[in-house]
Each structure stands twice: as structure tokens, then as C-alpha cells.
Amino acid sequence: VLAEVIKVGATTLNIPDTTGWNLPLEFGGLITKLRENVEGIDDVVISTHCQNDLGLSTANSLAGAQNGARQLECTINGIGERAGNASLEEIVMAIMLRGQQEMGGLRTGIVPEHIYMASKMVSEYSGMMVQPHKAIVGNNAFAHESGIHQDGMLKSKETYEIMSPETIGLNRTIDAGIVLGKHSGRHAVKTRLSEMGYEVGSDDLDEIFKRFKAVADKKKGIKDEDLEALVSDQLFQNTQVWELLEAQVVCGTMEMPTATVKMRGPDGMEHIESIVGKGPVDACYKAVDKIVKSPVNLLDYSVNAVTEGIDALAVT
């Protein structure tokens, strides 16, 4: 069939893997077999169209290129029927990085610096969000949270990145792509604090890092505002005389506002009081007053979220 369509003037032969069934070795072998056995095939362009049902569309497309295909049908972000098509950005960057060395000098005519914006535009217009861990264009593609990875990135970006985000037109705001989270180490936290203008001593860093890990266990992604709150709380706190251990407040339309507070005093002893107040804050402060036995006048009170979201830190 292929030989006959060539005879009547076909200039491109499209070889599809419509159901995404093939393995790369099979698909590459198919292209080689066609080149060896189809009359006149050297005068036409072999094209591939690989679906992603087994997650192998990019690998099959590259296998086709290695074995003689010179047109690879693909889509931005890999969108398409069922599990999608071969991903343009993955094919382009694979050929850009490995084409010369492993694919006989293959190259594309794509300008990679436009990849990120094209991906974002397609996502916005189609309403199909890109998964965070999507290769090349996912939000996590150039993000590093693991402590070991962050340490390596801070020493040399080539340690864990085979390409820079700038290659695809993405200018990251945080150098080395460091995303502070529960897996981050001391080095990453100290480096980020230095970038923010805070030079903290070893003892203060120990305490800040301990609080950082406690917060990071409860929320994903620690922002600069969170770090500033932790630093301020550590560096600018007053000498602690009484320590708040626990506080519980019960209030509602059917309940009298009641606060139960447990504190540790300068003598090391724990004290507990439960008091009814005019409101939850009033009840709390009355319980504190009864424990410390020192009258306090509350002049102002506010709670402000440091960052957005229900898992945000708060300052009072």
C-alpha cells in the first residue's frame, strides 16, 4: 500500500501508533523495516503519530526519529484523545539535549525559549491544566524541595538540572529553584534567610529551623512571609517568664465563652485555670490573669494571616 501511494505522488507517509500499543523498540523497528522494504520510500518523508495510552508516545516518537522518521506529529502539553499525544516540549528538548550525541545530529527548527509561554497559553485557552510534575513545563519541573537536592543545587545547578528553566523561556524568581518545605535542610533555610537580608547566628538558626520544620509539616511550601514571621518571633521575642502550654476555648450561640489555659511558670510548675468570659478572647485573658496573679489591661488585639490559605501562619 505504501509503495503504491508513493507511486501516485504521496510525499509524506504517516505511520501512526493509534492506540499507543507499541514499545519504543517495536516502533523504531517498524520504521526501519519500512525503510528497508518499501519501494521509493527514500524519496518521501516518514511521519509518526504516537498516542500516549501506555505513557510511551514521546519515547516512540524519538525511536521513530532515530530510525529515519523526519516528521513527528505532537501537541503542546501532550493534549489529545484519551491519554493524549506525544508532547511537543518533551520531543523538542530531548532532541535539543541528546540529538547531536545520540541521534546522529538530529535537530528541530523550534525556538525553545517560546515553549513555556506556548504551554501556558494552550492551558489557559483549552482549560486543561498542566499537571505539576509534567516534564519540561510542569510547575515542579524546576523546583527542588528535598534537602539533599537543595544543597546540591546551591553548590551547582547542574547537579540536578539537565537544562535551565531559562532555556524554555521560564525565568524563576528564586535562584536555584529552591522550594522550602518539610524536606528542606538547614543549608537551604540559611541561604534563603541570607538572600532576604537576615544573618542569624548558629543558635538562633537552630531554633528557627526547629520551628520551620514544625510549620512545614503542616503546610506545603513555606513562603518568605512565613520565614519572616519565624525570624521575628525568634530574634525579637522578649525574655520568657511564663510559657503557654495549651489553650482551649469553647463558645457558640448555646455556650458561655469558656477558656481553659495551661501555663508553666518561672518555678517550672504547671498551672491550669478555666474561666468564663464575655467572649473567647476575654475568657482567655481572664484565665491568664488568674494564673499569673498579675492584673493586665488589654488595650488592643488583632490576628493577621501571614500568607493566604487556611494553613497560613498568623501573627497576633
Residue 248 pairs in a beta bridge with 260
Tell me the fold of 2-110.
TIM Barrel (3.20.20)
From 69-73, 106-110, 203-207, the region with the lowest mean pLDDT? 203-207
CATH class of residue range 243-315: alpha beta
Residue 12 pairs in a beta bridge with 45
Rounded to a whole number, what is the distance in angstroms from the first to the last CA of the chain?
Answer: 77
> In Å, what is the CA distance from 57 to each residue of 17, 69, 105?
8, 14, 21
Work out the average pLDDT over 8-21.
Answer: 94
Q: What are the residue ranges spanned by the domains of the chain?
A: 2-110, 187-237, 243-315
To which H or E segment does residue 275 belong? strand 270-276
Which pLDDT score is estimated for 131?
86
pTM for the full predicted model: 0.57
Pick the more confident residue, 299 or 6: 6
Q: In this predicted model, what pLDDT tens digit does every residue of 113-152 receive, in sequence order?
A: 999 889 988 988 888 888 888 888 887 776 655 666 656 6
**DSSP string covering 116-153, please?**
HHHHHHHHHHH--PPPTT-TTTSTTTT-B-SHHHHHHH
Which pLDDT score is estimated for 70?
95
Which pLDDT score is estimated for 303?
66
Same fold, 2-110 and 243-315: no
- Burial 193-205, CB ≥16 within 10 A → b, else e: beeeebebeeeeb
Q: In this predicted model, what pLDDT tens digit does every residue of 255-266 receive, in sequence order?
A: 789 999 999 988
pLDDT over 90 percentage in the chain: 41
Q: In this predicted model, what pLDDT tens digit does every residue of 231-283 receive, in sequence order?
A: 766 665 656 678 889 999 998 887 789 999 999 988 888 999 999 988 888 88
Q: In this predicted model, what pLDDT tens digit does every residue of 151-172 receive, in sequence order?
A: 665 566 666 677 888 888 876 6
User: Any residues with CB less than 8 A from the CB of 12 and at least 6 apart, and which?
Assistant: 44, 45, 46, 47, 71
Q: In this predicted model, what pLDDT tens digit does every residue of 52-99 receive, in sequence order?
A: 999 999 999 999 999 999 999 999 999 999 999 999 999 999 999 999
Question: In 3D, which of 305, 303, 307, 304 has the Cα closest to residue 180?
Answer: 307
Contact 119, 170 (CB under 8 A): no
Would you say residue 306 has pLDDT above 70? no
Average pLDDT for the chain: 83
**Half-sphere exposure of residue 125, counting CA atoms within 13 Å on the CB side?**
9
Question: In 3D, which of 26, 84, 30, 81 has the Cα closest to residue 57?
Answer: 84
Taking each helix axis as running N to C, give the angle between helix 202-216 and helix 186-195, from 0 to 180 degrees, rounded to the nearest 10. 110
In which band, very low, low, confident or very high, does the pLDDT at 211 lie, cut at 50, 70 and 90? Answer: confident
Would you say residue 308 has pLDDT above 70? no
> In Å, what is the CA distance from 159 to each residue of 59, 132, 144?
24, 21, 11
